[in-house]
Amino acid sequence: MTATATLGHLATGTTRETLKLAGNPFRNYFARNPDDDVCSRFHVPELFATERELLHAIIDQYRNDIGTHSEVVPILGNKGAGKTHLLHSIKHGAGGAWQLLVTPGVFQKDTEFLEYLLFQIVDTLLGGGKQKGARPLEYIGEYLIRGSLIGALRGLTGDERVELFPPPGIGRWARRLGIGHAQAAERCEWLADSLGKPGALPVRQAIADAGLTPERAYDLIVAHTQKTEPHSATGLMRRSVIAGFAKAVLLKDESELANFLTFGFTEIDFQVRPTRQDLVLALFKVMMQLLRERKIPVVVAFDQLEDLLLARRNDDCHRVAEAFFAGIVQVMHQIDGLCFLIFAERGLWNRFVPSLDGYIQDRLNNPVHVPGHGTVKTLRLEAPPADLVRRVVEARLRPVLDQLSVHEGHSSIYPFSEEQIVQAARTEPTLRDMLQQFRHLYDHIVSDEYTATRVEPVANIVRGAFADDTVPLLPEPRVSFEEPSNRVSALLGFDDEVSVKTAEIVTAEPVPSVEMSRAGLSPAALVDLWETEFRSARRKLEPEGALTGATRELQAALGSFLATCHEHGVKVGPWRLQHVVPEWSYGDHPTYGIVSLAHWACKDGQPWKVGVGLFLAKGPGKPKDLEIKLAAMDVQPTVVDHLILMRTEDDLSLTGKSKTLWGDSQKRGHHARLEAVTIDAFAMVYSFPRWLAAVRESLPEGTPIPNLADVIQEKCERLLEQVCMPVQG
């Protein structure tokens, strides 16, 4: 096939300009995380349909049988095989019923795994992110309080029903006169039936139609749980969680639930004070009991395992991997009903798992029986066949082709040919490699690098080398193309070796997109990734209780931020980081007893050991949070010389007990300060680990991560000042 044959079917006028202006639809050729909307824009339902159906069937077992034990299902594939896209389709796609799907963006390797996992669930539950179009708190809250309200209505006595639904006109006299029982019972039964029907109205609408106020419905649920839940520590936790959900859904107040899940559960009056780990385990079991009773599966999916575990080069890879897998096995022994999905590269899985202890391997390799599908040990993602690759190409090209005013006679894969699709499918190892080749091919066909009349390709132009002057005539050397140009050349129909007879220099305008240079990601690409992750984090932190629920995740992200600043030489005025401990855990409180340590040094002076923590508790938890944070400066030998506490800018004042605690600390000679932090700054911190993962995922395998100091200092100037020693003006 010659260049003329390949390019001749592309018009050189309006069609070419339209395609150029539309941009290359293959430029964003991979999903950066399970919430990346590029997946939904270019989703092809037939791709991995069998694997998706199998995963839905596995999850449904946890929905249909609340006694199902926790299990692990590995989903293995090469880098770029489509693992993240498959996970996105389960989390956000139309197929399958709803489940609470937790997708951790960071692994806190120095934290107890059970504690780490619990707060990942809490963060997902309270955050503003949606799954299949529904926010987890709202979806779970509806189901949870719907069942509680049905039980409360059907548990009422005749007089209580009349009091709830008194006959009009006589109000409080109805019960005394013994009238209205039949009508009240009928209304109670109608409301209970309405709440229990499939596809029922939202709870607030249903109770409004029945003439019940949200406040009265909330009181009814609280009274019912007081009567029906046991008066043990577990019963107290269950009552508090149900009341928190009821208040969030009925009264639109999420603060009570957020406060209990981060503080209140530690203040329950236990007969014997439990340890930190026992507290976490107790709350975890209560949360799982309530969800399993409502047949809501809890799925924990670890994606991009290589980035999750190997975030830093100086980590002991095997130690981190062993802690991770041992943590999963520990949770499987302690908690029933969890479905673990591990999306990993085959090489990484085969590198780490065989070196683990035998009992860990046994649990990870334990096969799962799925009715109708047989026994599943591992799910493997292979490269798709040519017909599915064609559908993927069609999905990418469809928005572009829709912009053409006249495209009769063009195929749905225009400007490509069937032969090019088949060749890419047969020769490329993964879907991502195929899309990469189509990206290069599209640029070569549509851009001005070629004209329709050119018969022979020009080596320098194929390689992307441009100049300003005309090149003189050259001899006819034999040129061998280097990767990836030779694959593009093959798709274009050129031989691997070509004779250069003439040369034409073309000047091309740069394409405004996230693009990669030979040295790695460009500064513009880094900023683009930053903005994408920041916007996603901002949405997740907007709901009322989301910030409180994300306390542990934010603290881990803050540690990652400081560690990266240290590694990349970020400066704040005269201050530099000499040492960072991303997370230092102390004391017995699982939420508040943790800070990040940053040793800041100014020129040749002794470094200050700075503790940076989040002070986000509200209400009764506020003084407790402050007390525990200030206690970090009492630890001996001294760990913290100066404590920085980050708090929301709308609640910076200290009153009552909090003010007393602060004053007492200052009298003891402690150095501490409060920093007023905006929601945007918290979103920067929250998104930081995900941005790092996106940067790594965007780089070709083996490419070192670029220096990030410039981007961090540009985007986080104010935040850097807030986590550093004071900078003198």
Q: Which of 9-23, 436-450, 663-677, 703-717 has the highest mean pLDDT?
A: 663-677
Q: Which residue has the higher pLDDT, 345 or 604?
A: 345
Is the separation of the CB atoms in 301 and 87 below 8 Å? yes
Return the sign of the alpha-carbon dihedral for residues 81, 84, 90, 93. negative
Q: Residue 375 is which amino acid?
A: T
Q: What is the pLDDT of residues 144-192, one digit of tens each?
A: 999 999 999 999 998 888 888 887 655 555 555 555 678 888 889 999 9
pLDDT tier at 351, thresholds 50, 70, 90: confident
Per-residue model confidence (pLDDT) at position 519:
47
DSSP string over 691-728: HHHHHHHHSPTTPPPPP-HHHHHHH-HHHHHHTSSPPP
Q: For residues 279 and 724, what is the distance between their CA atoms, to the nearest angstrom? A: 34
Q: Which residue has the higher pLDDT, 677 or 476?
A: 677
Per-residue model confidence (pLDDT) at position 312:
57
Per-residue model confidence (pLDDT) at position 489:
57
Average pLDDT score over the chain: 84
Q: Which residue has the higher pLDDT, 512 or 628?
A: 628
Same fold, 38-132+297-380 and 520-722: no
Per-residue model confidence (pLDDT) at position 18:
77
Structure tokens at 144: 């949870």
Tell me which of 184-198, 311-325, 458-472, 556-570 is least confident.
458-472
Partners of 376 in beta bridges: 368
Q: For residues 530 and 706, what is the distance between their CA atoms, to the nearest angstrom? A: 14
Calculate the dihedral angle through the C-alpha atoms of 299, 302, 304, 305, rounding to the nearest 10 degrees.
-160
Q: What is the pLDDT of residues 42-59, one digit of tens each?
A: 899 999 999 999 999 999
Structure tokens at 616: 């986000």
Q: Which of 404-408, 450-454, 603-607 has the highest mean pLDDT?
A: 603-607
Per-residue model confidence (pLDDT) at position 26:
87
Calculate the dihedral angle through the C-alpha atoms of 279, 285, 286, 292, rounding to the nearest 10 degrees.
170
Q: Is the pLDDT of residue 481 over 50?
A: no
Q: What is the pLDDT of residues 219-276, one digit of tens each?
A: 999 999 999 999 899 999 999 999 999 999 999 999 999 999 999 999 988 777 788 8
Tell me which of 283-287, 482-486, 488-492, 703-707 is least confident.
482-486
Q: Which residue has the higher pLDDT, 562 or 27?
A: 562
DSSP string over 624-664: HHHHHHHGGGG-TTT--SEEEEEEETTS----HHHHHHHHH
Residue 34: DSSP 8-state: T
Tell me which of 154-158, 481-485, 695-699 is least confident.
481-485
Structure tokens at 643: 């404590």
Q: Which residue has the higher pLDDT, 480 or 310?
A: 310
**Residue 326, number of CB atoms within 10 A of its CB:** 16
b/e per residue 213-227 (b: at least 16 CB within 10 A): ebeebbebbbebbee
Q: Above pLDDT 70, what percent of the chain?
A: 84
Q: Is the pLDDT of residue 480 over 90?
A: no
User: What are the residue boundaries of the structural domains of the chain, listed by start?
Assistant: 3-31+384-499, 38-132+297-380, 136-292, 520-722
Candidate CATH numbers 2.70.70, 3.40.50, 3.30.70, 3.40.1350; the one for domain 520-722? 3.40.1350
Q: What is the pLDDT of residues 9-35, one digit of tens each?
A: 454 457 777 788 878 888 866 777 888
Q: For residues 90 and 101, what is the distance between their CA atoms, to the nearest angstrom? A: 9
Q: Is the pLDDT of residue 461 over 50?
A: no
Q: What is the pLDDT of residues 425-438, one digit of tens each?
A: 999 999 989 998 99
Q: What is the pLDDT of residues 86-123, one digit of tens each?
A: 999 999 998 889 999 999 988 888 889 999 999 999 99
Per-residue model confidence (pLDDT) at position 29:
61
Tell me which of 37-41, 371-375, 467-471, 537-541 is least confident.
467-471
Q: pTM of this prediction?
A: 0.85
- Quick one: the chain helix, strand, coil %, rounded to 5? 50, 10, 40
pLDDT tier at 488, thresholds 50, 70, 90: low
Domain spanning 38-132+297-380: CATH 3.40.190:
no
Alpha helices in 294-417 (DSSP H): 305-309, 317-334, 346-352, 358-364, 386-401
